[in-house]
Amino acid sequence: MKERPILFSGEMVRAILNGRKTQTRRVMKPQPSLTPSGLMNWKGSIIGEVPHESGDFTRYDEVTPRCPYGKPGDRLWVREKFQYVTDWTGIRTGNILYATTMSDKQGYGWGADTCVVWKPSIHMPRWASRITLEVVSVRVELVQDISEDDAKAEGVLPVHCNGGDGATHVGGFYFLWGEINEKRGYGWDTNPWVWVVEFRRQREGNR
C-alpha cells in the first residue's frame, strides 16, 4: 500500500467532506496513442486486452502501466489551501486553518472578518492533511464518455447545458472540467483520455 498526495479545489474538498464526491478524473499525460489493432499505447506500455490465436482475450497485467494515482488499496492524501495557526508571538500552535471550512483541526472557529493569507495547497505537508482517500478502482476512458451516475459521483450539482431539456450532473461536470482544464489545452471539446479514480474517504483517524 502506497500513499500519494493529490490536489483538490475548495469546491471539490467540500464535496468530499459532504460525501458527494467519490470519483475524480485526471488527464493522462502524455495522451496515449492507439495501435493499429485498437489497443492503447501509453509510455511504451499497452493498455487493453490482447487476443490469443484462439480468439480469447486476456489482459496482460505485466504491460499495463501504473496509474500515477495508484492502484486499488493505495491511499491518496488531500492537499488543500491552508494556513498555520500561530499564537500572539508568532509561534505555530500546531493547529491548521483550512480555507474550505475556515476551521482548524480542533474545530476552533475564526470570524468572517479575519484576514488570512492562505498557503497554496501544493505546499501542504502530509501531517497537516485532514482527508485520506482509499483508491477503490482505476480505469481509463475518454472524458466525454462519462455517464450521468459517474458525473454525480464527481460531486458536481446538476446544471443546464447545451440547450438540454433539464439540468444534469453531466452538465455540471462539463463546466467544472472546462474551468480546470480548458486553459491547459485539455478542454471538453478535445475529449482527452483520462484516468478515472474511484475512492472512498477514510474516516478513522481523520482530522
CATH of residue 195's domain is 2.30.130.30
Same domain, 7 and 104: no
Mean pLDDT (the chain) is 83
Asked if residue 207 is part of any domain, the answer here is: no
> What is the extent of the structural domain holding 154?
3-77+130-202
Same domain, 103 and 66: no
Same domain, 73 and 100: no
Of 114 and 131, more confident: 131
Average pLDDT over residues 152-168: 84
Asked whether 124 and 10 are in contact (CB, 8 A), the reply is no
Asked if residue 38 is part of any domain, the answer here is: yes
Same domain, 109 and 145: no
> pLDDT at residue 50 above 90?
no
Asked if residue 195 is part of any domain, the answer here is: yes
pLDDT-derived band at 207, boundaries 50, 70, 90: very low
Asked whether 139 and 59 are in contact (CB, 8 A), the reply is no
How far apart are alpha carbons 20 and 153 in whole angstroms?
6
Question: Which strand (E) or helix (H) includes residue 59?
Answer: strand 57-59
What phi and psi values does residue 204 have, to the nearest 5 degrees? -65, 130
User: 93, 119, 145 — which closes off a domain?
Assistant: 119
Q: What's the confidence (pLDDT) of residue 66?
A: 76
pTM to 2 decimal places? 0.82
Cell 496482460 identifies what position?
A: 60
Same domain, 97 and 15: no
Average pLDDT over residues 53-70: 58
Same domain, 139 and 71: yes
